[in-house]
Structure 1
Amino acid sequence: MEQTKALNALEPFLALSKSATSPRAAIDLIRQATSAPNTFLFAELLQTQPIASLASSPDADAKAAHALLRIFSHGTYESYTSTPGLPSLSDAQTVKLRQLSLLSLARDRDNLAYGVLQQKLGLDTHREVEELVITAIYAGLINGTLDPARQTVQVTSIAPLRDLAPGAVPQLAATLKVWSERCTTTLGGLEAQITQIRQQAATRHAEENKAKAKLDKAISEVDEKDLAINRAQDAFLRPKNWQQRAQNMESQGGELMEVDEPLGMDDQQMRRSKRKW
């Protein structure tokens, strides 16, 4: 959204560049474009023929104006102050160049301390640093907060409102390649860990099934042994009880003694036959 807004703000100056046939007109156009609000991208203006021709102009002012526009495009306030022969800046140009410089500096957290920003942006006090950061936030250039206690700026996001410097594409491609390789390595490590975890889970599942089968087998064997013991006890106790009852009946003259177990059908028939005798 901010990028679209900045491109739309530059459109009138791109249209005016077609009629800037003289170096003086082109220089004045640069001054207007760098002073106007919401103009933060200047690569297209640099590529227009009237502006590009200033770089090879014999006029020193024309060359200086072209160099100034390049600084607004991808330079910083520090590079402006270190380059001799550049035109002086108006108040609006000074604020804008410092805001653009803040965009570049905000990519590195080490640059966000009040003292570092004060030095690199040519400011006199920490209060001026805070005021500049606030204007950048309201302009939509950055999102962040001030941390006066720690004397630093906490930046959470940066608007894509800086042009790429000449020769920056190969460096950017190299950086992206390194990042891509790191991502590939990280993904490979994650996939290896996932595979290992799945193998461990499968091994645990197999061991659990094996242990369960072993337990079920042991329980089944115990049940079979208990059943065999019960059958053996029944087979051993039944004849003994029958003989004891028969002896008791004979000793009592045919009277049936009380026993612990109830009489079955065979016992009742035997009692009837005894009584008939």
Structure 2
Amino acid sequence: RASHARELSRAYTLAQTASGCCKAAHVGRRLEAAPQARGGAPRTSAGDRRRAGGGDRCAMSADAGGGAAAAAQYAALAKNATGAGAARLTRDACGHAGLFAFGELLEAEGIQALAGTEHAGSLELLRLFAYGTWTDYRVAAAKEGGSSLPALSDAQARKLRQLTVVSLAERSATLTYDELQATLELGSTRELEDFLINECMYAGLIRGTLDPQRRCLHVRGCAGRDVPREQLGALAAGLAAWADGASGLLAEIERSQEAIKQAAKDKAAAEVELNAAREAAKTSADEAANSAGAADGNDSPGGSPAPMAMEVGAEDDARATVSSKRRR
């Protein structure tokens, strides 16, 4: 029970540390990209595209400073927003360049109050940005009889495509260019690669490597998206299963460590016993040699065996004695 509690605490700490590390790393990535932003969108060569994402920088979260501050600001504004003001607030949030988490804003009473009103489309749009993809928007917009969703601005369209890439990266470690182009509705390979580098990797939403030869993106990590309430139970169950597995693994490691320690103790005890038996046998052999020498004389041609041969024989007897004791 203590081990389980310790492992749960460790898992929580690791999760918090990883989240903070990724957010902090993204701030540095934004600072590195700032000179390029001032000079316009960076142009990428074929070599740059092949190497994109090849570094070990942990850019797996949207802007920790700007994104968190923007989310808090919009949530604060939503407390007093109603009607058209709340609808405008949701559309602004969907187009904000550094905001990729919408759960807190979505839970605001003024935003939820848009349901069933003439501004319901703005609420649906916010839900789409929180949980949906570019494909979901295109399907909703193409429904017979029209859709209540408002048209997307360029900034909103770009962000929804970014979020779509994140959703795809969460499901698969390898994404083909064909799949990405079809899903994002991007016309050319160059346009796709530039979008993945400039709008996804530089933005800290995904971490990976482009492979132009095989026409695919190898994903090594991505940001997280909002989780719908109906999926929280499954997520909690998955985390609990992981914690149980980690606890079992930790217990197995501890058992292995104890077995290794016990084996080392047994080996040390056997060495001590062997050395004691060896000394005893050597002493006995020396006494026997001295007795034989005293009886027959040191110069007798038919004297006792050589001392070295007797010592070797005594050591063999000692090893046999120790082995016999250990078998018993």
Q: CA–CA distance in 2 between the matches of 1:29 and 1:143? A: 31
Q: Which has the higher contact order (CA 8 A, sep 6+)?
A: 2
- The residue type paired with residue 31 of structure 1 is R
Summarize deviations over 1:98-135 as a string: whole Å, max 9, x none. Answer: 11122222223345332333333333343333222211
Q: Which has the larger radius of gyration?
A: 1
User: How does the TM-score come out when normalised to structure 1?
Assistant: 0.73
Q: 203, 208, 219: which one pairs with 1:144?
A: 208
Q: CA–CA distance in 1 between the matches of 2:115 and 2:182? A: 30
Q: CA–CA distance in 1 between the matches of 2:293 and 2:221? A: 82
Q: CA–CA distance in 1 between the matches of 2:297 and 2:67? A: 101
- The residue type paired with residue 79 of structure 1 is D
> CA contact under 8 A between 1:3 and 1:159: conserved in structure 2?
no
Q: 90, 95, 111: which one pairs with 1:30?
A: 90
Q: 219, 223, 228: which one pairs with 1:155?
A: 219
> CA contact under 8 A between 1:105 and 1:111: conserved in structure 2?
no
- The residue type paired with residue 109 of structure 2 is Q
- The residue type paired with residue 167 of structure 1 is E
- The residue type paired with residue 38 of structure 1 is G
Q: Which residue of 1 aligns with 2:268?
A: 205
Summarize deviations over 1:45-88 as a string: whole Å, max 9, x none. Answer: 2222332111132x2xx222211101111222222223241322
Q: Tell me by how many angstroms 1:235 deviates.
A: 8.9
> CA contact under 8 A between 2:173 and 2:218: conserved in structure 1?
no
Structure 1's 16 and 188: CA in aligned 2 closer, same or farther, altered over 3 A?
A: closer
Structure 1 residue ranges without an equivalent (≥5)? 238-277
Q: CA–CA distance in 2 between the matches of 1:235 and 1:136? A: 95
Q: 81, 88, 102: which one pairs with 1:42?
A: 102
Q: 128, 133, 146: which one pairs with 1:71?
A: 128
Q: Which residue of 2 aligns with 1:95?
A: 158
Range with greater deviation from structure 2 (8-17 or 67-76): 8-17
> CA contact under 8 A between 1:76 and 1:104: conserved in structure 2?
yes
Q: CA–CA distance in 2 between the matches of 1:50 and 1:39? A: 19
Q: CA–CA distance in 1 between the matches of 2:280 and 2:73? A: 89
Summarize deviations over 1:169-220 as a string: whole Å, max 9, x none. Answer: 2111011011011112212222222222223223322332232222222211
Structure 1's 219 and 169: CA in aligned 2 closer, same or farther, altered over 3 A?
A: same
SS for the counterpart of 2:227 is coil
Range with greater deviation from structure 2 (165-174 or 211-220): 211-220
> CA contact under 8 A between 1:111 and 1:117: conserved in structure 2?
no
Q: Which residue of 2 aligns with 1:3?
A: 64
Range with greater deviation from structure 2 (208-217 or 97-106): 208-217
The residue correspondences of 1:1-277 to structure 2 (distance < 5 A) are: 1=23, 2-17=63-78, 20-22=81-83, 24-57=84-117, 59=118, 62-83=119-140, 84=143, 85=147, 86-110=149-173, 112-134=175-197, 135-160=199-224, 162-234=225-297
Q: Which residue of 2 aligns with 1:254?
A: none
Q: CA–CA distance in 2 between the matches of 1:94 and 1:6? A: 18
Q: CA–CA distance in 2 between the matches of 1:42 and 1:144? A: 25
Structure 2 residue ranges without an equivalent (≥5)? 1-22, 24-62, 301-328
Structure 1's 192 and 14: CA in aligned 2 closer, same or farther, altered over 3 A?
A: closer
Q: CA–CA distance in 2 between the matches of 1:128 and 1:80? A: 21
**Count of aligned residue pairs for this structure pair:** 232
> CA contact under 8 A between 2:106 and 2:127: conserved in structure 1?
yes
Percent identity between the two aligned chains: 35
Q: CA–CA distance in 2 between the matches of 1:29 and 1:94? A: 17
- The residue type paired with residue 208 of structure 1 is E
- The residue type paired with residue 88 of structure 1 is A
Q: CA–CA distance in 2 between the matches of 1:14 and 1:204? A: 66
Q: CA–CA distance in 1 between the matches of 2:66 and 2:254? A: 43
Q: Tell me by how many angstroms 1:34 deviates.
A: 1.2
SS for the counterpart of 1:124 is coil
> CA contact under 8 A between 2:174 and 2:219: conserved in structure 1?
no
- The residue type paired with residue 5 of structure 1 is G
CA RMSD of aligned residues (A): 2.5
Structure 1's 15 and 197: CA in aligned 2 closer, same or farther, altered over 3 A?
A: closer
